[in-house]
Amino acid sequence: MFYSISNTQPGLRGIPFGDSLIKRVVEELSRDFPRLKTYVTLSPIPTYRQWLGKHIDELWTLIDTKLLKKLDGIPIEFESRKEKFLRLSEGLGQSSVDNTQEVSLLEEIHLRFAAFFLNQLDEGLQPVDPVARFHLGNGARIERLNWYADPSAKGLKQSFGMMINYSYDLKRLDRAR
């Protein structure tokens, strides 16, 4: 499991060293541990929360009736269901949101929205999220979204605590770039 592979330092922008770093580490690990076959990252989703704030109105139309009814079942009054969802999301990591029902509902909705987000492309047909762009551009595939994997202040600010596993297939890694 790779954690915190980063090329986001300002002085390193545009320098494609990530693929060679990943390949080098995989080669060394493969040599030292020949039975090791699975290589994944635990990575942040740094632009999800900001993106959600800009696109919540269009995303809200994707919420099905079942989830809306669950949201209605949470005994907190707000002007709208969407407002209730956003306020509960803002309370993650604080004692204001510690109810299992609330957290479970937030998880279900955010995982759907994050999956949608990770499929969004920019004008150059690259993933809009810089970390996704890095990993997918280096031969990885999205393996799993992890709810509340980073409850730190930064993790909550960036992605409501969600993180993602990218999986590296050695054959794809060799063909990347």
User: What CATH code is carried by the domain that includes residue 56?
Assistant: 3.40.630.150
Residue 40 pairs in a beta bridge with 167
Residue tagged active-site, from 43, 89, 110, 159:
43
Record the tokens describing residue 48, joined without a space.
């999800």
Per-residue pLDDT reduced to its tens digit, 110-131? 999 999 999 999 999 999 999 9
**Greatest Cα-to-Cα distance within the chain, rounded to the nearest angstrom:** 59
pLDDT score, position 134: 85
Q: How many domains does the chain have?
A: 1
- Give the pLDDT band (50/70/90) at residue 7: low
pLDDT score, position 39: 85
pLDDT score, position 177: 47
Per-residue pLDDT reduced to its tens digit, 10-59? 554 555 556 667 778 878 888 898 898 888 889 999 999 999 999 999 99
pLDDT score, position 17: 57
Is the pLDDT at 165 greater than 50? The verdict is yes
Give the domain extent around 108. 2-175
| Whether residue 6 lies in the annotated active site | no
Per-residue pLDDT reduced to its tens digit, 94-106? 765 557 778 889 9
Q: How far is CA 23 from CA 32, 81, 126, 133, in A?
A: 14, 46, 22, 17
pLDDT score, position 5: 55
pTM of the model: 0.83
In the chain, the N- to C-terminal Cα span, in Å, equals 22
pLDDT score, position 137: 85
Q: How far apart are CA 69 and CA 87, in angstroms?
A: 17
CB 139 within 8 A of CB 175: yes
For helices 65-72 and 81-90, what crossing angle results, to 10°?
A: 70
φ/ψ (deg, to 5) at 168: -105, 120
Helix or strand run (H / E) with residue 41: strand 39-44
pLDDT score, position 98: 56
| Whether residue 135 lies in the annotated active site | yes
Residue tagged active-site, from 104, 135, 152, 167:
135
